[in-house]
Amino acid sequence: MTSVASPAAERPEPLEAAIKGEVLRMYHEVAEHPENEFHFYHGRPAAEMFDYQRAWLDRAPPGAVASFAGVGNPHLRSRVREGDVVLDVGSGAGLDSIIASWQVGRGGRVIGVDLNPEMLTRASEHARQAGLEGVEFRQGRMEELPVDDQAVSVVISNGVINLSFQKRRVFQDLFRVLRPGGRISVTDIVSAKQLKQSIVNDPKLWAS
């Protein structure tokens, strides 16, 4: 969450590793057992809550919809056009990348980046099920995106950047990969007040 952002140097590395582990475990749980209940809404109910078009949710592979764990709808303001190159940071099971791929059409391209190899496999499978060729998924960290300088025209992201301990670096890297005139549309969790240290140090709460 934004107010707890601090440079990595101020953080003990084991805590960051523990939090990353818990976050990966939680996303695995959502993907593997979408029928379970979590602290957050997920799947189709969450997507409908955020005004995802029903036609998108009907058309997308059911697995991609069921594993959706976003916190909003970055497509509402992304203004993606045909031919755009879109980067989806924290692509998860692939729903947002798939929607973006429909928007860019055959002349465009979508790159999904995720830390979790298991999610990359799922997202690739969902894109294949959707019959999409212009979307690829790459493993990487959002602080050091596996994308060339000025390679993309739009960045979307949904509920992921708040998980980084190095948010400054994340935004610097988003700026690096965007073409001049490019834009971002990011939904994420922020906190108006400084969180208690006991909350900051609890990996389970980061994952919720």
Partner 1 sequence: MFALLEAAGFKRIRSAVVSGFRFRKDSTRDAAEEFGVKAVLFTAERPA
Residues of the shown chain interacting with partner 1 in the complex, contacts defined by CB under 8 A: 1-2, 5, 37-41, 49-51, 71-74, 76-77, 159, 161, 167-168, 171-172, 174-175, 178-193, 195, 199, 208
Distance of closest approach, residue 201 Cβ to partner 1, in angstroms: 15
Distances (CA, A) of 3 to 80, 121, 130, 167: 30, 33, 38, 11
Closer to partner 1 at the Cβ: 74 or 112?
74
Distance of closest approach, residue 107 Cβ to partner 1, in angstroms: 21
Distance of closest approach, residue 106 Cβ to partner 1, in angstroms: 26
Nearest to 70 by CA among 192, 156, 193, 196: 156
Closer to partner 1 at the Cβ: 127 or 174?
174
What's the rounded Cα separation, in Å, for the pair 19 and 13? 10
Closer to partner 1 at the Cβ: 101 or 185?
185
Closer to partner 1 at the Cβ: 75 or 126?
75
Q: Do residues 67 and 93 make contact, with C-beta atoms less than 8 angstroms apart?
A: yes
Distance of closest approach, residue 90 Cβ to partner 1, in angstroms: 14
Distance of closest approach, residue 100 Cβ to partner 1, in angstroms: 15
Q: Do residues 160 and 142 make contact, with C-beta atoms less than 8 angstroms apart?
A: yes
- What CA dihedral angle connects 87, 92, 96 and 102, to 10 degrees? 80
Q: Do residues 158 and 72 make contact, with C-beta atoms less than 8 angstroms apart?
A: yes
Nearest to 132 by CA among 32, 57, 60: 60
Closer to partner 1 at the Cβ: 17 or 199?
199
Distance of closest approach, residue 153 Cβ to partner 1, in angstroms: 10
Sequence letter at residue 84:
D
Q: What is the SS3 string spanning 109-125? A: EEEEEECCHHHHHHHHH
Closer to partner 1 at the Cβ: 17 or 190?
190
